[in-house]
Structure 1
Amino acid sequence: MELLIIASILSVTTLAIPFPKDLQPISTAGPEDSCLFPSFQGLVSDNDTQHLGLDFQHMIRINRMLYIAARDHVFAVNLSASVNQIVPQQRLTWKSKDVAKCTVRGKNTDECYNYIKVLVPRNDETLFACGTNAFNPTCRNYRLSSLEQVGAELVGQARCPFESRQANVGIFASGHFYSATMSDFQASDAVIYRSLGGEGSPVLRSVKYDSKWLREPRFLHAIEYSSYVYFFFSEIAVEYTTLGKVVYSRVARVCKNDSGGSARVLERYWTSFLKARLNCSVPGDSFFYFDVLQSVSSIIQINQRPAVVGVFTTQMNSIPGSAVCGFYMDEIERVFQGRFKEQKGTDSAWSSVPEEQVPTPRPGSCAGDGSASAFSSSAQFPDSMLSFIKAHPLMDESVSSINDQPFLTQTTSSYKLTQIVVDTVAGPYNNRTVIFLGSEDGHVLKVLMSSDPNLSYSTTMLEDIHVYNPSSCTGDRRVLGLELDKEHHALFVAFSSCIIRVPLSRCAKHGNCKSRCLYSRDPYCIWLRTGSCADISPGFKAGFEQDIDGEQPQLSDICNVDVISEEERPNSEIDSAFG
């Protein structure tokens, strides 16, 4: 009887709050399109490449060059010359000399290469690179113009992981290198680390082997914003252990002017480290959470406010699903000014710390600012404050997503989303936001995002692009990286074995069918007065038509094309992003 009552309650709840349905694409690009996309597989004449493939690790666009970090190599691609093919203009080869030592330590030969895991600009002239170097991490500086090495090698420990499968992030901010990775051979010491600041600037790190600070994290992104450096990652939730190892998504921050603690407490450790949970969930009487962060954008503007957008998935042992959520930076800051979380006993539940028990200056403050304005250095902070922050790095409240709900969810698909990149200035008037989402099965979804709750139109999936091509790539179909090249109307999609250049739109396939062109709702497509559908060119703002918001009535002339019916139209109430 009790089970029947519970089932009835759940049934009523389900009826009262409908779960958002998956968006359906207005159009698709199949394998017949992907076979035309230019690709790059590395040095096909190289024996190692023939055996192992490209082994993509990271890519970054700097000015008009795309730098691709792989195994033993960094390739520099001139974007202006890569419209019809991807041919590196320059190549950096950096092979390990420690392969013999690596195999002696019991590692497989395929692991004993130099996987380039860090590739970031140090300044306008220098590129900073670190590689696993056969389980002996090493860093170098290179000239951006020529890829020639500058200066001597540096120890890569705590700046670069020991093996290629470990996630890591790195960023230069205010002259320091901030890294987050595993800092030991056994991969047991996760660290957020600051170094390379020059003489007089202490090297700082997170507290070692303290699960309250970091517990099996997977680092994903780092950004500089205001007085802080932010880190985005997922980790085992130390505050939620009743059901085993549950993964939560986090955002953490440290002050850029942090100098470490006193000689008694937190010396050479962060005094400003705070972290909070990112809440990406479908609201209702019972929330449905997407807990595992997979990828996050850099800071963009949403509703005239700085924000980030991330891809989240469900727990490993949960119903498969993905969601896209956005977070305002000022909302993140508000949470960091809120209550702290604590566990008073090893077996007791976690609770918020009463405000009267929080010392002054407020833990997590930057020296010389706010409640810590009287202190010129964090080393001068009282021991009571340092002891508190060491034991209480976790905030009680989680960061709510924009509009308290995902921009979109995917729960009926057999694959999960893995990567995200955002174009906030899409369309002829630079006023549309389009997000590109990579997936586990080699597809890229192009989505027109709506973030303003006052607008009538909803988030719309414009296109499902089949990118992975077995004739160009081998092995894993998981999308590992996305990089936009707006100037040349391209999206670079990275797989382990190859890089694919995908046009941002396929407007020409609509030909001289006005109905189909307008119905695509694609900000990158315009209907010209000359009677054709074309890709938007930079600066082109006159003599065209668009129907991005779906405001025009469905045209009677469909030009004998196969399009989704009005009942299936993604901007209808049935298939909106939420509701």
Structure 2
Amino acid sequence: MRSTSLTTCPLLLSSPLLSSPLLSSPLLSSGLQGCRRFHSSAVNYSSMLLEADSERLYVGARGAAFALNASDISASSALTIEWEASHEEKSRCLLKGKDNKTECFNHIRFLQRFNSTHLYMCGTNAFSPLCAYVDEERFVISSQPEEGKDKCPYSPTTGYTALIIDQQMYSASQYDFRSFPDIRRNSPSPTLKTEDAPTRWLNEADFVGSALVRESFGSDGGDDDKIYFFFTEKSQEQTTTYSHSRVARVARVCKGDRGGLLTLQKRWTSFLKTRLTCSLPEYDFHFNMLRSVFVTPGDTPQDTRFYGIFGLEWKNVKASAVCRFSLSEVQEAFQGPYMENQDSGSKWKEYTGKIPNPRPGTCITDALRARGINVSTSLPDDVLDFVRRHPLMSRQVQPSDGRPLLFRRTTDYTRMAVRVFEGLDGQMYHILYMGTDDGWLHKAVEVNGKLHIIEELQLFEDPQPVNSLLISEKQMSVYVGSPTAVVQLPLSSCRRYTSCYDCIFSRDPDCGWDGAECVDVMTHSNRSTLIQDIQHGSMGCKQAQNGTRSVRVGDDALLQCELSSNLATPVWTREGSEVQGYDLNSGFRRGTDGLLIIEARQDQSGTYTCHSLENNVRVAIVSYNVTVRLDLPPPPPVEPDRDSFVVYLSLITILGGLCVVLTVVLVYVGFCLRVGQRGKYSLRAHRGSAHMELQTISSHCNGNGLCNGVAKMHNGGLEDGGLLQIVPGEAYTSPSREPPPPECDFPSGLSATLPSVLRRMHGNSYVLLRQSDSENTSPLCHSFSEELNKILEKRKHTLLLPRPDESSV
């Protein structure tokens, strides 16, 4: 049995957004209110189907499908179908060179309703696709799975889209990993597909979505319904304007297409495609990678809108744009000039020759029926041959208003869903929910050709992409699928706005201010009492909060102003005039938490007001009546606390003791270092001796103040117990005097300069006091014992300094 976990969502804080020319600001969220979460041992929740009537949410994952309670996906009534690939299929997948950790599983890529009693789902099945019918009531596979290689892609990551329309399945993908991309009608007969010779209709296409538009509804000319497919493919146009290797496309086929009789047999006779453009010329950004599409139907087919998420072709640059297109503009492009490719090795150019009649690529209409052409198999061969060689249209589809609704830096949107809602002003607003590649959900509203971001919510603690997104008006919920879980959120969370300003400035069509709190418009009984301003986000609230501040001359004063919107800019005014300059010389400094008055002067008195500026909308937040006075009473003295005094005294005593200890240690360390720095003679290891240790022993001091030490040479020639004596005396100080004699090698393995250079020393000198005498002394050197006796004899007549210099030993 597959384990499942049904939990509520933890509180996750939202983070600030980055600014952009077309971006408005969300309110910082305090958490995911009303959130529900479903996850199990399965992963990759990529397919979702919402059944509003049955209140079920069907979810397809890797190796399993689930039927969840749409009102609360965390309820314990979840049903499960386990559909894993067999061991033999996984073994064959490995032999194909596929990954046994990600690819050699049954990833459910398709899950839709087939009829009133059954669902239809398809899975990759370890690179051997299968499809099956599912009994909706019992939620079990009702028949033996059937071959799915023409309906489902082999790979879990291949671009794919599919629809079931009147029990006919229309799909688009690269099915076999060795095949070309294709748009197909799979069942029932006749099956159709796109052409791949002599002109390939699809060039490395990556599909992201499809939609049925009932264009026959209310049509005066008896037009046919059409299926639109959205994808990105390798560019074919020859143009000097764009140099991108891949471009976004929209293609369409007629629902009643039956293929040609001889030419284009079992091929589409109505296939046409054109380019979708989404760019910001002023930034030289051309968003040519289509990631997701959502279609919103209008009152008429011509009012249908397409919302698309576009990205850049450069993989190392994160940026997204949202563009909106109208169906009428797409229809005009399909009525425009064609492109042609006379030489298969060159780019496509606009066709300027004669166009056959009836117009190639059109659906069967009343005008054609009047000419005896009732089905596509009756179309003339010259028309079909023209369609075969001219699938691409020359006219590009431009976005509404000629530019994106939203341009977002450092964000990659992956999925989107759109709903239409009527605001309190009677206008219809399109509300967008957009998921990101790192697990965030952005809610936005379209206002005057731009998207205003209402809120930004973090759905998962660990970054992960949003794989699927659905909206339910009935359940008032948005459902998000990801690699690890499914999340259910309310369409709006108005109660997180705690003030009139927050509620109105959010410009959320779902929320209104009732005078005391921010409430959900859909659930409020009397809408006439609510305040809402979606167009501007600045009308309806009372005056800003007022406060009074008295400041003494020369003191600093902070006037606080906290903005809920993380992209709003604070603007300060004094007596209606904007406070200019924020450096130290101006007497003011603006910060994120307010305005600082520096060394207040009497001429800085007045009424200060903090405004929130965003999207050219200025709203007063808080006002201060500031008075700068000379005669403010000093603050009352603070009585000392006896217990605190004892604690402070103890701390001072302890710190004082530590200081004394540190002082002694430092004096000792400094004393030691000075010997090494002031010594005139060095003890050097002979023949690579490794280590020397010099240790002072106080018991070796004689009555004359001379101390002996123990010199130890490890791995050297110095015998243990060799003594080193520090002798106050005269040192060789003048370079003009007689140079020191050459160094002599002693049997001990040490080399030292002869002590005969110790003259007129006004400090301490270091002399080897006891070493083994040897007959092998260098002839250039006096006997060490003789030279030492001479020095000691001389020291009898030398006046020692009463206070010899300090020496570090």
Same fold (TM over 0.5): yes
Written as runs of structure 1 = structure 2, the 5 A alignment for 1:454-465 is 459-465=451-457
1:57 is displaced (CA, Å) by 1.9
State the match for 1:91 in structure 2: 80
Deviation at 1:528, TM superposition (A): 2.4
136, 142, 148: which is aligned to 1:144?
A: 136
Q: Retained in 2: the 8 A contact 1:223–1:229?
A: yes
Query: Which of the residues 53, 64, 67 maps onto 1:73?
Result: 64
Contact residue 46 and residue 482 of structure 2 kept, 8 A: no
After TM superposition, list the pairs within 5 Å mapping 1:459-538 onto structure 2: 459-470=451-462, 477-511=464-498, 513-529=499-515, 531-538=516-523
Of all paired residues, the percent bearing the same amino acid is 28
Is 127-136 or 104-113 further displaced after alignment?
Answer: 104-113
Q: 1:266 to 1:480 in 2, by over 3 A?
A: same
Aligned counterparts of 2:106 and 2:299: Cα–Cα separation in 1 = 39
Query: What is the alpha-carbon distance in structure 2 between the residues aligned to residue 536 and residue 403 of structure 1?
Result: 30
1:173 and 2:174 matched: no
2:24/2:615 contact within 8 Å kept: no
**TM-superposed deviation, 1:416:** 1.5
Q: Secondary structure at the match of 1:492?
A: strand
What is the letter of the counterpart of residue 230 of structure 2? F
User: TM-score when scaled to structure 2?
Assistant: 0.60
Shift of 1:558: 5.8
| Stretches (4+) displaced over 6 A | 241-245
- Aligned partner letter, 1:192: I
- Indicate yes or no: 2:295 matched with 1:298: yes
- My pick for the range that moved more, 202-211 or 171-180, is 202-211
Q: Which residue of 2 aligns with 1:309?
A: 307
1:416 is matched with 412
Q: Please, which of 339, 355, 358 is the counterpart of residue 358 of structure 1?
A: 355
Q: Which amino acid in 2 is paired with 1:535?
A: D
Would the aligned equivalents of 2:228 and 2:253 in 1 still touch at CA under 8 Å? yes
Is the contact made by 1:72 and 1:93 (CA closer than 8 Å) also made in structure 2? yes
Is 1:256 matched with 2:255? yes
CA contact (8 A) 2:295 2:304 kept: no
Give unpaired runs (5+ residues) of structure 1: 1-18, 44-48, 453-457, 471-475, 575-579
Residue pair 2:24, 2:451 contacting (<8 A) in 1 also: no
| 1:363-382 aligned within 5 A | 363-370=360-367, 374=371, 375-382=373-380
Which position in structure 2 is the counterpart of 1:27? 27
User: Which of 1 and 2 has greater Rg?
Assistant: 2
Tell me the secondary structure at the aligned position of residue 125 of structure 2: coil
Cα deviation, residue 319, structure 1: 5.4
Asked whether the 8 Å contact 1:460–1:570 carries over to 2, the reply is: no
Residue deviations 1:190-236 (CA, integer Å, cap 9, x gap): 11010222xxx311011137774111111111111122111111111
Q: 1:504 to 1:36 in 2, by over 3 A?
A: closer
Structure 1 residues 134 and 435, CA, compared in 2 at 3 Å: closer, same or farther? same
Match of 2:233?
235
**Contact 1:129/1:140, CA 8 A, preserved across alignment:** yes
How far off is 1:288 after superposition?
A: 3.7
Contact 1:143/1:150, CA 8 A, preserved across alignment: yes
Alignment map for 1:58-457 (pairs within 5 Å):
58-63=47-52, 64-82=55-73, 85=74, 87=76, 89-97=78-86, 98-110=89-101, 111-186=103-178, 188-197=179-188, 201-208=189-196, 212-225=200-213, 226=215, 227-240=225-238, 246-263=245-262, 265-282=263-280, 288-301=285-298, 305-316=303-314, 320-346=318-344, 348-354=346-352, 356-370=353-367, 374=371, 375-410=373-408, 413-425=409-421, 427=423, 431-451=428-448
Q: Distance in 2 between matches of 1:254 and 1:95?
A: 35
SS in 1 for 2:78: strand
Output the amino acid matched with 1:562: L
Q: CA deviation at 1:372?
A: 6.9
- Cα pair 1:419 1:438 within 8 Å, conserved: yes
- Given residue 394 of structure 1, which amino acid in structure 2 is its aligned partner? L
1-structure distance, mates of 2:295, 2:523: 23
Change (3 A) 1:296 1:166: same
Pairwise CA RMSD of aligned residues? 2.9
2: CA distance, partners of 1:437 / 1:533:
24
Deviation of 1:301 after TM superposition, in Å, equals 3.2
> Could you give the per-residue CA deviations for residues 449-506 of structure 1, whole angstroms, max 9, x where no partner exists?
0256xxxxx5322112222223xxxxx5222221112333322222211122223333
**Cα-to-partner distance string for 1:54-93 (whole Å, 9 max, x where unaligned):** 11221121212211110111111111234xx365522122
The answer on whether the counterparts of 2:58 and 2:67 sit within 8 Å (CA) in structure 1 is yes
Task: Answer whether contact 2:538 2:617 (CA < 8 A) is retained.
Answer: no
Q: Confirm or deny: 8 A CA contact 1:365 1:372 kept in the other structure.
A: no
- Distance in 1 of aligned mates of 2:293 and 2:257: 25
The alpha-carbon deviation at position 435 of structure 1 amounts to 0.7
2:199–2:388: 8 Å Cα contact kept in structure 1?
A: no
- CA distance in 2 between partners of 1:87 and 1:416 (Å): 34
Kept after mapping to 1: 8 A contact 2:531/2:540: no
Write the mapping of 1:33-52 to structure 2, written as runs, cut at 5 A.
33-34=31-32, 37-43=35-41, 49=42
1:88–1:502: structure 2 CA closer, same or farther, 3 Å change rule? same
CA contact (8 A) 2:248 2:276 kept: yes
CA gap of 1:446–1:321, structure 2 versus 1, over 3 A, is same
Question: Per the alignment, in what secondary structure is the counterpart of residue 374 of structure 2?
Answer: coil
Instruction: Give the letter for the 1:279 counterpart.
Output: T
Shift of 1:144: 2.1
Q: CA deviation at 1:360?
A: 1.6
Deviation, structure 1 residue 184? 1.2
Distance in 1 between residues matched to 2:617 and 2:26, nearest whole Å: 15
Name 2:534's counterpart in structure 1. 548
| 1:374-431 Cα distance to aligned partner (Å, 9 max, x none) | 3122122222111111111000001121122211111xx3221221111112556683
Does the CA-based 8 Å contact 1:515-1:558 persist in structure 2? no
1: CA distance, partners of 2:455 / 2:274: 34
Pairing of 1:8-23 with structure 2 (within 5 A) = 21-23=21-23
CA contact (8 A) 2:85 2:125 kept: yes
1:536–1:573 Cα change, 3 Å = closer
8 Å contact from structure 1 (residues 138, 156) kept in 2: yes
Contact 1:130 1:156 in 2 (8 A): yes
Q: Distance in 2 between matches of 1:241 and 1:160?
A: 35
| CA 1:88–1:571: 2 relative to 1, 3 Å | farther
Q: Gaps spanning 5+ residues in structure 2: where?
A: 1-18, 216-224, 547-560, 572-611, 619-809
Aligned position for 1:3:
none
Higher relative contact order (CA 8 A, sep 6+): 1
Contact 2:202 2:233 in 1 (8 A): yes
Whole-Å separation in 1 of the counterparts to 2:190 and 2:490: 46
